[in-house]
Amino acid sequence: MAKSSYAIVAKDLRKSYGKVDVLKGVNLKVERGTMLALLGPNGAGKTTTVRILATLLGHDGGTVTVDGYDVKTEANAVRSVIGLTGQYAAVDELLTGYENLVMMGRLYHLNKDASKRRADELLEQFDLVKAGSRVVKTYSGGMRRRLDLAISLIATPPIIFLDEPTTGLDPRSRLAMWDIIKRLMSAGATILLTTQYLEEADQLADKIAVIDGGKIIAEGTADELKQRVGKERLELVLIREKDFDKAKKVIDGDGMKFDAAKRTISVALDGGAKHLTKILGELDAAGVGVETLSLHKPTLDDVFLTLTGRQSSAEETNDEDEDNKDKGGKK
């Protein structure tokens, strides 16, 4: 039987801790060979979702399949096709990077020679060859994250879960991780990424799902989500304050904002370049001088703030605490 075009499917996924409903009917589909970024504030349910998909946590309702296997009844089959990099590097600090990789290869039932070959390949791929003979406790945060991701790829899984893989990394290390993730995508991997970094989702993901309060509240490409927030805006700074009222009459556009003291007028552009040309032409004809102009497109920051509109609630904090409890109390 031919496999579905979707590598990951979650329908009406629910999870509660006592009286706290953490997931309230999450629906997700991830096409094969693409990346879906699960974006949301702390405690919104991102990690809980990933842990259920990766068979590390049971769910109370709904159905979940990964590569066509049911996570509840076919957990072993699911584990054979996935790799997982969690928020915390799961490496043995007393072993070298090479030893960590060989050990994991053996746990994946590779023979000794195959484990060593795979370790060498991954150290090369993740730029850890020189550090491979050092014990992991001497690694920087970025090196540990790269090693952790390498370990999750020991068995070359077709489906990869990345749960906030760049949290706590400096900008240089984050860019290095992005490069590695892009290479995995170009090789055909299916990736579910959770992140709080809006730029990360914008740069990497084919589609983005915004989760808040245990529900998916929006889904689409980055451009589709940005269009939901609003149109591109034109911001003008006039040369002369006395032209301000005249400029307002000429522009008179959708959602116009202005500040007379700063000589600024902002308006949404309905027709892109044509609307911009029309406004500038009419201002020139009216004798209104423009000192500067700038165009501002909606960003994922705007999307995030518009859709979620708040900080983590007590319920979200409970979700985060329960996630940490499942991890052995790590914070």
Residue 101 domain-assigned? no
The reply to whether 206 and 308 lie within a common domain is: yes
- Give residue 316's pLDDT: 39
Instruction: Say whether pLDDT at 199 is over 60.
Output: yes
Residues 213 and 278 in one domain: no
Residue 273 lies in a domain: yes
Q: Based on the domain organization, do 223 and 175 belong to the same domain? A: yes
pLDDT of residue 89: 64
Q: Do 243 and 223 belong together in one domain?
A: no
* Domain CATH code at residue 292: 3.30.70.100
Judge whether 24 lies within some domain.
Answer: yes
In the DSSP assignment, the letter for residue 199 is H
Same domain, 195 and 291: no
Q: What is the pTM of this model?
A: 0.75
Average pLDDT score over the chain: 85
12 and 68 fall within a common domain: yes
Q: CA 51, 6, 75 angle in degrees (round to 5)?
A: 40
- Residue 55 belongs to a domain: yes
Q: How much is the pLDDT for 276?
A: 80
Q: Single out the residue of 83, 53, 84, 80 nearest to residue 66, CA to CA.
A: 53
**Higher pLDDT among residues 269 and 325, named by residue:** 269
d(CA 290, CA 251): 13
Q: Measuring CA to CA, which residue among 306, 304, 322, 232 is closest to residue 41?
A: 304
Same domain for 167 and 282, yes or no, is no
Looking at per-residue pLDDT, the higher value among 243 and 159 belongs to: 159
Domain count of the chain?
A: 2
Question: Which pLDDT band, with edges at 50, 70 and 90, does 277 fall under?
Answer: confident
Tens of pLDDT, residue by residue over 87-138, are: 766 789 999 999 999 999 998 889 999 999 999 999 998 899 999 999 999 9
Q: Round to whole Å and give the CA distance between 208 and 200.
A: 11
Would the CA dihedral through 77, 78, 82, 87 be positive or negative? Answer: negative
The verdict on 177 and 213 lying in the same domain is: yes
Pair (218, 312) in one structural domain = yes
Sheet strands (E) in 131-263: 159-163, 190-195, 207-212, 215-220, 233-238, 257-259
- Is 97 contained in some domain? no
Q: Residue 291 is part of which domain span?
A: 231-296
What is the spatial distance between Cα 158 and Cα 13, in angstroms, rounded to a whole number? 23
Confidence bin at 234 (pLDDT 50/70/90):
confident
- 217 and 311 share a domain? yes
- Mark whether 222 and 245 lie in a shared domain: no
Asked if residue 106 is part of any domain, the answer here is no
Percent residues over pLDDT 70 in the chain? 90
